Amino acid sequence: MNIKTVMVIGAGQMGGGIAQVCAQSGYNVILNDLKDEFLTRGLGVIKKNLNRAVSKERMTEEDKNATLGRITRSTDLNDAKNADLIIEAAVENMSIKTKIFETLDQAAPAHAILASNTSSLPITEIAAATKRPEQVIGMHFMNPVPVMKLVEIIRGLATTDEVYQAIEEMTKSLSKAPVEVEDFPGFVSNRILMPMINEAIYTLYEGVATKEAIDDVMKMGMNHPMGPLQLADFIGLDTCLYIMEILHEGFGDSKYRPCPLLRKYVKAGWLGKKTGRGFYSYE
């Protein structure tokens, strides 16, 4: 299958990053969000990223302008009629995602592949909202998208080999490394990462050590580039809690029970870097 035009749903941190790497790799990109102001903000981040690349001589001014020229704005999901591949990067909520996929199924051409950047939700359930489950697949990019190489590619129950191969090839064309993963809660990345973060929060909750000490142990002792509590702040504590709840519900195992301190912080609105306060202060 020949993928030329990619529609990205959501102009936030993940969607904007996906749009950027697709446009840099020569694809025509339709960047969609609910409001024009969200698109303006997302495109502002993309421009900032590209300007930084130019200043560091990783990209020419001409390449930057060409990349931006390949991105068009959209606030209408019916613009999917012009896309060969649609990558959904909306909020991590099953009811919202299934509504989006129902609409995309109606709007997108028959040949189009529908992909989700979900970090934990079942692809098979998302695909069931469409009449083309064989053309639905997971493409879980890592954050920040322009920097991180990995993309988890998740097959739903009905995903065909042809669709998988097309997405694997497209992922490689973005200079990313595709890894095939089966459709289980949290896939591989978050099934391993989130319980580690949750255990770090329990370690703080139980008074074993300070937040700085916990992060230092993992950075200096385990060679992690960032401590688990700082990483949780960067991911968003609400996102961490949501994924832990999906793991807990999906496996029914008490080892995935979210730490009460994580719940408390989320209820307080201390969601990490994006709100200025989480385990650390970002004022």
Active-site residue numbers? 119, 140, 152, 190
Q: Are 130 and 114 in contact (CB under 8 A)?
A: yes
12: annotated binding-site residue? yes
Q: What length is written for the chain?
A: 283
Distance (Å, rounded) from C-alpha 122 to C-alpha 116?
Answer: 10
- Residue 11 annotated in ligand binding: yes
120 marked ligand binding residue: no
Residues 8-19 as b or e (16 or more Cβ within 10 Å = b): bbbbebbbbbbb
What's the maximum distance between 2 C-alpha atoms anywhere in the chain?
A: 56
Q: Which amino acid is at 5?
A: T
Is 44 assigned a ligand-binding role in the annotation?
no
Q: What helix, strand, coil percent values describe the chain, rounded to 5? A: 55, 15, 35
Is 143 labelled a binding residue?
yes
What is the distance between the alpha carbons of residues 281 and 270, in angstroms, rounded to a whole number? 9
Does 220 show up as a binding residue in the annotation? Answer: no
| 207 has binding-site annotation | no
Residue 92 marked as a ligand binder: yes
Q: Is 97 annotated as a binding residue?
A: yes
Q: What is the DSSP string of 192-246?
A: HHHHHHHHHHHHHHTTSS-HHHHHHIIIIIH--SS-HHHHHHHH-HHHHHHHHHH
Residue type, 159: T
- What residues form the annotated binding site? 10-15, 33, 92, 97, 119, 143, 274
- What residues form the annotated binding site for NAD(+)? 10-15, 33, 92, 97, 119, 143, 274
